[in-house]
Homo-oligomer: A and B are copies of this chain.
Amino acid sequence: MITLVSILRKSFANGARMGAVDVTGNAMARPRRAPPSADRPAVASITSVAARAGVSIATVSRIVNGIANKAGPETVERVQRAIAELGYRPLSVGRALRRKESRLVALLAANLGNPAMAAIAASAETALREAGYVMVLCDTHDRPELQDEYLLEMRAQLVRGIILLGAVPSTHLERFVQQGEPLLFVNRRSPFAGTAPFVGVDNALAGAEVADLFLSRGIHDIAVVHGSLKSSATAERLEGFAQRLAGAGIRLPKSRRLTAPLLDHLAIGYAAAGRLVAPGPVPRGIFCLSDLIAYGVHKRLLEAGVRVPGDSLVVGFDDNPLNNWLAPWLSSVRVPYASFGAAIVEAFDGIWSGATSRHVELPHELVLREP
């Protein structure tokens, strides 16, 4: 049995399919022995409340749920007292099973190591709680199989909605979209056809505004450093940026569009900047498509003796709150992460009430820092 359990755990971990039991992704994480819960006092149930108040469980349920005209004032009073005395609180699983719907909302984030995603997660949690929901957090590590595993698991949890913060194309995601599961895409749009609900900033416009900044300063020698273009956010930023430059007669050659085959944005920035300083001269304007990339670029520039923003104006994206404290040299497009939570709840309200496709566009702002 020990062996069985450990095999199951392993297979769940990597999403492999290796047998009947694992096909359904369950049976793992069962306690080896019964947990020592016997000593814990029994938690009050609707039955105990009903007994103590001398009514049926139906009446308790109706009072708890505020169904009017189904109980007299003195009955309500009695039941309320019983509830208070027993410390009763309805069990979510019983309720969810009956209603076929829980109060859980899942957030599938591509990479929680990214401060921007962590900030969105924090904001979402607060807003969801205020709206009465409970948030489940999942880190897909940008891996399609893991994302699929989470999607299936969340459906099995009867979650009310799923937030995809940085979705990656995957089999089941496409299926979920088609089947009309309550999905909300944040930051990155749905990678599939059709228009799925989305919350985020106008990335193309923001990119264009950065281009405007460079142009207004007379900076024409420009480079851009970016992560994977599979992300719609990245692609749109780059597109808006390049297009605006093109409109001013400035083209952005391949040699000025840099990236690196790495996952970590910090490392991408550092590596890409290496290819900028080596041949030289360093471009007078560098647009980094995330703050993390900008940090990496900056470090490499510093090592090469390039002053920022004096010699080269570096512009990031996200505007990490720490920038004010640690990166006074970095201009950046501020994304209002603190207001993502409210926007997410608003979008879900739309989804749940049957709106065909709910889009929320949040305002961004180019923050200039030149010490």
Hey, which bits of chain A sit against chain B, CB under 8 A? 4, 8-9, 12-13, 20-21, 23-29, 31-33, 35-37, 39-41, 43, 63-66, 76, 79-80, 83-84, 88-97, 101-104, 107, 112-113, 115, 118-119, 121-122, 125-126, 129-139, 141, 152-153, 155-158, 179-182, 266, 295-296, 298-299, 322, 325-327, 352-354
Cβ A325 vs Cβ B299 within 8 A:
yes
Assuming the A-B contacts A35-B182, A179-B41, are A27 and B64 also in contact, with contact meaning beta carbons closer than 8 angstroms in the complex?
yes
Residues of B within 8 A of A20 (CB): 63-64, 66, 76, 79-80, 83
In the bound complex, CA of A39 to CA of B118 (Å): 34
The residue in chain B whose Cβ has the minimal distance to the Cβ of A23 is B83
Please, could you name 26 A-B residue pairs with CB atoms under 8 Å apart, sorted by A?
A4-B66, A9-B130, A12-B130, A20-B76, A20-B79, A20-B80, A26-B89, A28-B132, A39-B180, A40-B181, A43-B155, A89-B155, A91-B156, A93-B96, A93-B97, A112-B118, A112-B121, A113-B119, A118-B122, A121-B121, A121-B137, A125-B139, A135-B136, A136-B137, A322-B322, A326-B327
Cβ A129 vs Cβ B138 within 8 A:
yes
In the bound complex, CA of A126 to CA of B150 (Å): 12
In the bound complex, CA of A180 to CA of B35 (Å): 11
Count copies of this chain in the complex. 2
The answer, among B103, B122, B158, B299, for a CB contact under 8 Å with A112, is: B122
Cβ A326 vs Cβ B295 within 8 A:
yes
The residue in chain B whose Cβ has the minimal distance to the Cβ of A122 is B112
Cβ A352 vs Cβ B31 within 8 A:
yes
Cβ B9 vs Cβ A132 within 8 A:
yes
In the bound complex, CA of A32 to CA of B26 (Å): 33
Residues of B within 8 A of A136 (CB): 104, 134-137
Assuming the A-B contacts A65-B21, A136-B135, A325-B295, are A158 and B26 also in contact, with contact meaning beta carbons closer than 8 angstroms in the complex?
no
Residues of B within 8 A of A65 (CB): 21, 26-27
Cβ B92 vs Cβ A94 within 8 A:
no
In the bound complex, CA of A137 to CA of B137 (Å): 6
Residues of B within 8 A of A118 (CB): 112, 115, 118, 121-122
In the bound complex, CA of A343 to CA of B21 (Å): 28
Cβ B322 vs Cβ A156 within 8 A:
no
Residues of B within 8 A of A91 (CB): 97, 156, 158
Residues of B within 8 A of A107 (CB): 137
CB distance from A145 to the nearest CB of B (A): 12
In the bound complex, CA of A76 to CA of B266 (Å): 50
Residues of B within 8 A of A299 (CB): 325
In the bound complex, CA of A190 to CA of B296 (Å): 39
In the bound complex, CA of A36 to CA of B118 (Å): 31
Residues of B within 8 A of A266 (CB): 325
Cβ B31 vs Cβ A353 within 8 A:
yes
In the bound complex, CA of A122 to CA of B298 (Å): 26
- Knowing that A13-B129, A97-B97, A112-B118 touch, tell me 16 more A-B residue pairs with CB under 8 angstroms: A8-B66, A9-B130, A9-B131, A20-B80, A21-B63, A23-B80, A24-B88, A32-B353, A41-B179, A89-B153, A92-B157, A93-B96, A112-B125, A113-B122, A121-B137, A266-B325
A-B pairs, 8 with minimum CB distance: A29-B132, A28-B132, A112-B122, A137-B137, A118-B118, A21-B66, A326-B326, A36-B354
CB distance from A236 to the nearest CB of B (A): 26
Cβ A89 vs Cβ B156 within 8 A:
yes
Assuming the A-B contacts A96-B93, A102-B93, A118-B118, are A64 and B21 also in contact, with contact meaning beta carbons closer than 8 angstroms in the complex?
yes
In the bound complex, CA of A136 to CA of B89 (Å): 19
